[in-house]
Amino acid sequence: MTARTIRTVAAAVTAATLLAGATACSTPSDGKDGGTEALVVGIANEPETLNPLLGYGKDGNSKIFEGLLRHDAGMRLVPALAAALPKVTDDGRTYTYTLRRGVTFSDGEPLTADDVVFTYRTILDKKTNNPSKGELDAIESVRAKGDDTVVFTLKYPYAAFAERTVLPIAPEHVAGGQNVNTGPFNTAPVGTGPYMLTHWSKGEKISFKANPHYWGGTPKVKKLTMAIIKDDDMRATRLRSGDLDGAILPPNLAKTFAKDKSKRTITAKTTDFRAVTLPTDNEVTGDTAVRRALDLAVDRRAMVAAILEGAGTEAYGPVPGGSRWFAKGTERANDLAKAQRILDEAGWKPGEDGVREKEGQPAAFTLWYPSGDKLRQEHALAFAADARKAGIKATVQSGTWEVIEPRMKNDAVLAGGGNPADPDFDLYNLLHSSLAGDGFNNMARYANADVDRALEEGRRSGDQDERKRAYDTVQRELADDPGYVFLTHVDHRYVMRDDWDGPSTQVEPHDHGLGAGPWWNVEDWAPKK
Amino acid sequence: MARMAGRRLLFAVPVLAAVTFGVFAIAAASPFDPAHAYAGSAGLSAGQDTLDQLRANLHADDPFTVRWWRWLTAALHGDLGDSSALRQPVSQVIGERVGWSVLLCAVAFTLALVLGTLLGVLAARRRGGLLDRAVTGAAYALEAAPPFWIGLLAVWFFALRLGVLPAGGLTDTGSDVVTADQVARHLVLPAAVLAVSQLPWFVLYVRQGVGDALEEDPVRGARARGLSEHTVLLRHALRSGLLPVLTLVGSRVPELITGALLVETVFSWPGIASATVEAATSVDFPLLAALTVLATAAVLAGNLLSDLLYGLADPRVGFDG
């Protein structure tokens, strides 16, 4: 062979590779393209999975799937795949659901009670890698009674259980008989929901089209694309360029759209809190006097104004002030003088360079926040500055969760969380002493017998007034003996083109992915005439 | 020639095994926790029971040597394992993505090769001239510029300022139908950026090689015989001047792969790069090992190819051994 033939061969190989590459990748096209009834939304967080068996859509509002129940705009439970709200018997230990008639999956197969049983049993299976399965701990058994009735038996009476049944139902005939953790159902989900997945390009976008056989009527927004854009500025730029129809934005970027007449800004209230854990085992933060002093020394109003630019509210506990579960009268104003008095009385005397001391122990501790989270960093710094005014030194440090986790027992952490569905979800996990140091539950290792008792009453009682009284007790105890200093509830801000009738917001949780945002009910929207 | 290829292939086996062993060792030493990475945001509200169960299911507590051996023996039987980060079999991850990466790399590489040779020859013809100085200067400057930086600059200029080319993705955001013209339009920026990042090496090598060849005796002899400048350049100087470029073809493969990693990330190109990044940060052993094997194999193949080409083009060199 000569050099010339080599060159020819090389060129041919290159061309062949190119062609092979091009044909191997071309996906079959369905020939249709989005018209005016298409919506492109920019979101910051990509779901890890679209498989409900692995945790997708567990809090409702999945576009592809539906649960037995769902939340309306006011976060009240309404029937979805169930025909009505569940019948609760046996003192709150048995929940019976009757299925809606005539519901089919998007592949045409009917929904049956067996699919519901399959879904719950699979999630509870030890081999299923569903990180949220702990939320279903109350279930002792789930079984089908005939084709359209499902009966849950619980280990203990659990008033908030119905809230958990918003989790999406997967079809047994598709998802069964394969490896749940890695099987094809993970990339080709089939559900009963208003939309069907058409394409998921990881890290880039998730595309849906309207399900023509949806029992609730085919959605008017025919095509829905969720573009995953982690960078806030990039999201704003692509919204401005018309590439996106709507996006979640931090307050300072949302403000830049205020003068744009074609767009509207929507603010969603949340239960998304930021709080500082006060580890009970730490000699400084474990002292009730120090806890109360810190709780009074922080200037929550200033944090809302400066850090959140007004897009948020002061937090006095996991339950936001606007909630019907909030215990009125537990609001604490910023009162530095009182904080100092409490410390003085408890024997924390001013020492060198302004840091108080008690029996040789300086009033100092470390406060961690996850690196890269700017919002938490600003909260941590503001908290440390406020604490310093009272003579308590919090040293702010950042690290990954791998670094922070082993230190949570003794060091404070700038934590976040919040689930609007039921007060039990946040309060029990944050405060019950039996969960002290259990993974990321009760990070502060809070232990208070009165709180424990009230939490159990609130969990077991089926009576709304009784529950309200129990959670009032918890919130009042938390004001007297704070295990955490709650700082703010963070509003979520969205900017979107003003082209549709129907956008609204729910009270949103800490996690905001596909299900939250004004597009939570996109299936009910209609283009403006 | 066949002997050399065979020997190199045999040699590749222990190299690949050693490289995957290294990957498992490094991943095990990294501070990332596979169970936490898998759980994502849900892990931050999970109880210890759930995390422990996840840990056990993912075999996260096995020593890395055990995991490596398990992966290796399965891989030899054709089972590449399951990716925990992407929740699908590794073979599927690679199958869905590698084509797009190959397309991107092939276009960029061809572009860099063609353009580099052209500019290099032009510069070599009049060394020290205005064109030569401009091309060489630009090449040195580009050599120092990291591809992601060029990528961001290109996005800023072409997508944001001029608005003529899409800023990223494989197709338009609102469309999920993959058509050839959309892909072609979206390919322009990433391929150009990747090509530009590879370009300086070709330009400088070709310039040097052809420039030296133009001063060698055969070329001077040809000129003395009164052959046209055209014939001298194409028939004599290019032939020997381009030889070093063949070596370069193989040795650029690793750079091309790392360059593609960065460029794909900047342009959200759905190739194997984003999968690689994801695999690394979530300690996804099976995916990480498979991708490393793929990259190592590409590098070894590139080196073999350039040695073969060189041996064929210049009989004096021959094949090793």
Of residues A51, A133, A402, nearest to B31 (C-beta):
A402
Q: B130 CB contacts (<8 Å, ≥6 apart)? A: none
Band of pLDDT at residue A376, cut at 50, 70 and 90: very high
CB-count exposure of residue A103 (10 Å: 0-12, 13-18, 19+): buried
- Model confidence at B283, pLDDT cuts 50, 70, 90, reads confident
Taking residues B38-63, what's their average pLDDT? 85
Nearest-by-Cβ selection for A18 from B82, B106, B173? B106
Q: Do B40 and A241 touch (CB under 8 A)?
A: no
Q: Mean per-residue pLDDT for A369-377?
A: 89
What is the pTM assigned to this prediction? 0.82
The one-letter amino acid at B316: R
**Interface probe, candidates A43, A127, A205, chain B, greatest B C-beta count within 10 A:** A205
Higher pLDDT residue, B269 or A343?
A343
pLDDT at B158 over 80: yes
**Chain B CB contacts of A440 below 8 Å:** 43-47
> How does the average pLDDT of chain B come out, rounded?
85
A244 touches chain B (CB under 8 A): yes
Interface test with chain B among A2, A25, A45, A241, by most B beta carbons within 10 Å: A25
Q: Which residues pair with A356 in a beta bridge?
A: A350
Residues of A in contact with B174 (CB under 8 A): 34, 38, 40, 223, 225, 243
Q: pLDDT, tens digit, for every residue of B72-87?
A: 899 889 888 888 888 8
Query: What pLDDT, in 10s, does the model give residues A474-515?
Result: 999 999 999 999 999 999 999 999 999 999 999 998 876 678
Residue range A292-325, pLDDT digits in tens: 999 999 999 999 999 999 999 999 999 999 999 9
- Give, as one character, the DSSP assignment of residue A316: S
CA distance A188 to chain B (A): 11
Contact B270 A202 (CB under 8 A): yes
Interface test with B, best of A164, A440, A443 (most B CBs within 10 A): A440
Report CB contact under 8 Å: B174, A225: yes
- Give the N- to C-terminal CA distance of chain A in Å, as an integer: 71
Contacting A residues, span 481-520, partner chain B, CB-CB under 8 Å: 511
Q: d(Cα A481, Cα A437) in Å, to the nearest integer?
A: 18
Residues of B in contact with A32 (CB under 8 A): 177
List CB contacts (< 8 A) between A20 and chain B: 99, 102
| Nearest CB neighbour to B47, from listed A134, A198, A205 | A134
Q: Do A21 and B103 touch (CB under 8 A)?
A: yes
Can you give the pLDDT at residue A458?
94
Average pLDDT estimate for B313-318 = 71
**ipTM of the complex, rounded to two decimals:** 0.77
> Which of A437, A443, A429, A366 is closest to A399 using CA atoms?
A366
Contacts of B42 in chain A (CB under 8 A): 48, 55, 131-132
Residues 7-46, chain A, touching B (beta carbon < 8 A) = 10, 14, 17-18, 20-22, 24-27, 29-34, 38, 40, 45
Residue in B45, B236, B245, B278 to test binding to A, most A beta-carbons within 10 Å: B45
Query: Cα B6 to the chain's mean position, in Å?
Result: 24
Nearest residue of A to residue B309, measured between CA atoms = A6
Say which amino acid occupies A162: A
**Whether the predicted pLDDT of A5 surpasses 50:** no
* DSSP state at residue A200: E
Rg for chain B, CA atoms, rounded: 24
Instruction: Decide if A182 and B82 are in contact by the 8 Å CB cutoff.
Output: yes
pLDDT on residue B320: 60
Flag the least confident range among A96-100, B64-68, B267-271.
Answer: B267-271
Q: Which of residues 339-358 of A touch B (CB under 8 A)?
A: none
Q: Residue B46 is nearest to which of A51, A131, A205, comparing CB atoms? A: A131
What amino acid occupies position B50?
Answer: T
Q: Please list the residues that pair with A358 across neighbouring strands.
A: A361
Distance CA A83, CA A101 (A): 8
Which of A20, A238, A439 lies at the smallest CB-CB distance from B47? A439
pLDDT of residue A34: 41
Interval B136-164 mean pLDDT: 86
Of B295, B304, B293, nearest to B14 by C-alpha is B293
